[in-house]
Amino acid sequence: MWAATFVLLVFWALAHLVSAFFRGRTPATSTHDASTRRNGVFVHDAKTERHPIAWRARNAERTAQTLFLMLFAASTVTSFGYGATRATSALAWTFMVLAIIHILASAATRHFAPHIGLGILSFPFIIAIFALAFRGSGGIRDSDD
C-alpha cells in the first residue's frame, strides 16, 4: 500500500520537474518579440513567454499532487486504523493505476470530461480504503453497557 503511495510521489515529483522546466520558457521556433514598448519603456510581456507544453505540465502536476495527497491520506488512516490488508492494498494499487491514467489524461487535454470521468472512477477506491480502515473500530452498538 505504501509502495503505491511512493509511486504516486515519484510521479508527482516528475510532473513538478517537467512543469518547472517549461515554466517561463519560450519555444525555440518563436518568431514574435516578447518585448513591447509602453510609454517609452520596453516592457517584457510574460504571457507571450509561456511554452506550449507549460499548461500540460502544470495540469499534470496539479493532478498528480491531488491524487498523491488522496492516497497518502488513505494510507495514513489505514495504518493508524485497522491496518493494511490485501483488500486495502489491492484498492490502493488499483487507485494508483487509475491515477497514472488520470495524470496522463490531464496532460493530454484541457477538456474537463477526462477529469470528471476518471475522478468518478477513482474516488470510490479512496472511500473504500477509508471505510476499510475503520472496520472493527466498534461503534454505538458494540458498547457493553
Residue 140 located in a structural domain: no
When pLDDT is cut at 50, 70 and 90, the band that residue 48 belongs to is: very low
Which residues of 2-143 form beta strands (DSSP E)?
35-38, 41-44
Residue 47: which CATH number? 1.20.120
Residue-wise pLDDT tens digits, 90-117: 999 999 999 999 999 999 998 889 889 9
Residue 72 located in a structural domain: yes
Residue 59 located in a structural domain: yes
Residue 86 located in a structural domain: yes
Task: Specify the range with the lowest mean pLDDT, choosing from 1-10, 30-39, 101-110, 111-120.
Answer: 30-39
Q: Which domain holds residue 120?
A: 2-24+34-133
Q: Could you give the dihedral angle defined by the CA atoms of residues 115, 3, 53 and 50, in that order, rounded to the nearest 10 degrees?
A: 100
Residue-wise pLDDT tens digits, 128-140: 999 998 887 665 5
* pTM summary value: 0.77
Q: How many domains does the chain have?
A: 1
